[in-house]
């Protein structure tokens, strides 16, 4: 894809610190040379060699397993050398220092994967999936990342790209050969294909949305007056005692954050300082932070104490603590302390707002709240078919879908073949952004090689 890398890079592939085994990975043209200097011999590719590792003066540093993968049959597509030594930070540092003195450079973050991408070992979506697999916060997230890493997501994108290219060929042929007896654009072949692509793109977008939720999660702010039970709700949802719960109003002085997991959906819960006028500077800072968190959230849980006759803390009341004029996220009203009022936990809709009656302290109605939160972002806990996706992918799929719809409308309303062809090209470009493949645009060659124009 690009010029091969001339430099050789080295890095610790395992986490820093002490452990049974640590691995140092090297990639690039100096691997043979480094093996010769540190191991005293060239090693056979894909065989485990148990050998002493030495520095350049011949002093033994460690003893372990050395592996060699000759390019292009390696992760990066270049020659790769791996040293599996004893997991001590000093030993590993000495090993890396020796490799650096052989002319290698310290790898930048992600550089091994980047080289794999440039050498066509992985596409962009797969390279991203490596990071997502490592970072995954739940089993479901790990499974989806693996599905993307093994190329299932990319494969579906590529199949869709092929369909778009095929349709482009057909439409462009109709434009280039207007004197043909058949009116290419008028037959329903084009609309049938367009319908199919629209449908597949929609499915892909929906499973990418699920994947992105698995990765990014949902941000929920717990807001409300002091003593309403915000910290108690946070504790009840997270199952931990992270917030200080007292009956002195204003105990929660700062923004506290928790991450819990509802069937694989990461929920970033933020408990804010009680929304009220600050009495001192510390409290003021807490309130300022709270307003920022509120602006950025996917949903606000507005907690009220149903036992003190307090009704609804209107949105305007939240608004007075927020300086900017940004639109507030949707609000769910939580009527807490239902154990005191002897109400039954439940969920209802009042004035198009969801109202959940529960007791944080007695752990009543929490399941209702959790399933409401999942529903509000359209999260479906599914073990299969979800790909790990990022906002970048969703954005590209959304733009692809937009171009497709525009082209479709132009065809139906104005019989505008040229505009459809252009929109199909833009659809293709958006899809290619996901895998990072910018295929050659030699459409004409494709038309003549695979299309029989009839003469």
Residue 27 to residues 30, 46, 72, 115, Cα–Cα distance (Å): 8, 15, 11, 9
What is the phi/psi pair of residue 353, to 5°? -115, 140
Which range binds ligand GDP by CB under 6 A, 92-100, 245-253, 378-386, 391-399?
A: 245-253
Torsion from C-alpha of 302, 305, 306, 311, nearest 10 degrees: -60
Residue 340: enclosing H or E segment and its boundaries? helix 338-341
Could you give the angle at the alpha carbon of 139 between the alpha carbons of 138 and 140, nearest 5°? Answer: 90
Look-up of token digits 């052989």: 102
Q: Would you give the DSSP letter of residue 308?
A: G
Strands 299-305 and 331-336 turn out to be parallel
Residue 341: enclosing H or E segment and its boundaries? helix 338-341
Please, which of residues 263-282 interact with ligand GDP by CB under 6 A? 274
Query: Three-state SS for 40?
Result: coil
Per CB under 6 A, does 306 bind ligand GDP? no
Least distance from C-beta 290 to ligand GDP, angstroms?
A: 12
Please, which of residues 322-381 interact with ligand GDP by CB under 6 A? 336-337, 339-340, 359-362
Binding residue (CB under 6 A) for ligand GDP from 34, 201, 228, 396 = 228
Which lies closer to ligand GDP via its Cβ, residue 203 or residue 246? 246
- Give the length of the chain: 455
Which lies closer to ligand GDP via its Cβ, residue 267 or residue 301? 301
Q: What per-residue string of b and e applies to 95-107 under the rule 16 or more CB within 10 Å gives b? A: bbebbeebebeeb
Which lies closer to ligand GDP via its Cβ, residue 85 or residue 365? 365
Least distance from C-beta 306 to ligand GDP, angstroms?
A: 9
Binding residue (CB under 6 A) for ligand GDP from 85, 217, 229, 264 = 229
Least distance from C-beta 346 to ligand GDP, angstroms?
A: 14
Is 225 annotated for ligand binding?
no
Per CB under 6 A, does 247 bind ligand GDP? yes
Least distance from C-beta 229 to ligand GDP, angstroms?
A: 3
CA distance 124 to 149: 10
With CA atoms as reference, report the closest residue to 421 among 191, 163, 173, 156.
173
Per CB under 6 A, does 286 bind ligand GDP? no
Which lies closer to ligand GDP via its Cβ, residue 77 or residue 274? 274
Which lies closer to ligand GDP via its Cβ, residue 70 or residue 339? 339
Q: Which residues lie near ligand GDP (CB under 6 A)?
A: 224, 226-232, 245-247, 251-252, 274, 336-337, 339-340, 359-362
Binding site, annotated residues: 25, 82, 121, 227-232, 246-252, 271-274, 455
């Amino acid at each position: 894809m690009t010029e091969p890398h001339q430099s050789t890079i080295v890095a610790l592939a395992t986490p820093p610190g002490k452990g049974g085994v640590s691995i140092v990975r090297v990639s690039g043209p100096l691997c043979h040379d480094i093996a010769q200097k540190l191991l005293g011999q060239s090693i056979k590719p894909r065989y485990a060699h148990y050998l002493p590792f030495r520095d350049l003066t011949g002093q033994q540093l460690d003893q372990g397993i050395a592996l060699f993968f000759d390019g292009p049959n390696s992760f990066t597509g270049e020659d790769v050398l791996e040293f599996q030594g004893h997991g001590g930070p000093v030993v590993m540092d000495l090993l890396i220092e020796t490799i650096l003195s052989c002319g290698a450079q310290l790898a930048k973050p992600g550089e091994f994967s980047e080289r794999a991408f440039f050498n066509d070992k992985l596409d962009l979506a797969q390279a991203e999936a490596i990071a997502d697999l490592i970072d995954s916060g739940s089993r479901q997230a790990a499974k989806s990342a693996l599905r993307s890493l093994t190329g299932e997501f990319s494969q579906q994108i590529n199949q869709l790209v092929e369909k778009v290219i095929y349709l482009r060929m057909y439409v462009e042929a109709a434009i280039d050969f207007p004197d043909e007896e058949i009116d290419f654009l008028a037959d329903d072949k084009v609309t049938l294909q367009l319908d199919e692509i629209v449908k597949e793109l929609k499915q892909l977008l929906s499973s990418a949305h699920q994947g992105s939720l698995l990765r990014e999660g949902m941000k929920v702010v717990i807001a409300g007056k002091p003593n309403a039970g915000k910290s108690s709700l946070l504790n009840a949802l997270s199952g931990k005692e992270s917030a200080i719960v007292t009956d002195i109003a204003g105990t929660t002085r700062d923004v506290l954050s928790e991450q819990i997991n509802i069937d694989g959906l990461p929920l970033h819960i933020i408990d804010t300082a009680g929304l009220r006028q600050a009495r001192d500077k510390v409290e003021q800072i807490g309130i300022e932070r709270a307003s920022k968190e509120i602006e950025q959230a996917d949903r606000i849980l507005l907690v009220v104490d149903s036992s003190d006759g307090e009704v609804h803390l209107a949105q305007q009341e939240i608004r007075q603590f927020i300086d900017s004029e940004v639109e507030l996220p949707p609000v769910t009203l939580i009527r807490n302390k239902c154990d005191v009022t002897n109400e039954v936990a439940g969920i209802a809709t009042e004035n198009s707002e969801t109202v959940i009656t529960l007791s944080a302290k007695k752990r009543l109605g929490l399941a209702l709240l959790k399933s409401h939160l999942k529903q509000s972002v359209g999260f479906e806990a599914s073990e299969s078919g979800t790909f790990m996706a990022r906002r970048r992918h969703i954005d590209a799929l959304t733009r692809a879908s937009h171009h497709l719809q525009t082209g479709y409308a132009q065809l139906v309303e104005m019989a505008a073949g040229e505009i459809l062809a252009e929109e199909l090209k833009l659809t293709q470009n958006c899809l290619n952004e996901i895998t990072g493949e910018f295929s050659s645009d030699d459409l004409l060659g494709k038309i003549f090689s695979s299309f029989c124009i009839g003469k």
